[in-house]
Amino acid sequence: MADRLITDGRPPEDASTLATLLLAQVRGLQLDLLVSGDRARADRAIEFAARLLDRPTT
């Protein structure tokens, strides 16, 4: 994941940290889905996170 983030233009010094954050987010949403059963909400959350990644870094 970190390599892909670097390929997409993220600074190498941030890529590993961001990859860890993203993986934690996905794992948390998986747990939330298991507990709540609310797939629509989990899908909206992951789609929102993906849109945040599309924003340019400064």
Tell me, what's the pLDDT at 25?
95
CB hemisphere CA count around 51 (13 angstroms): 6
Strands (DSSP E) found in 1-58: none
pLDDT tens digit sequence for 1-57: 999 999 988 999 999 999 999 999 999 999 999 999 999 999 999 999 889 888 666
Number of domains, the chain: 1
The pLDDT, as a whole number, for residue 52 is 86
Instruction: Quote the pLDDT of residue 57.
Output: 60
pTM of the model: 0.76
12 lies in which domain range?
Answer: 2-54
What is the C-alpha to C-alpha distance for residues 49 and 30, in angstroms, rounded to an integer? 14
Q: How far is CA 44 from the centre of its chain?
A: 12
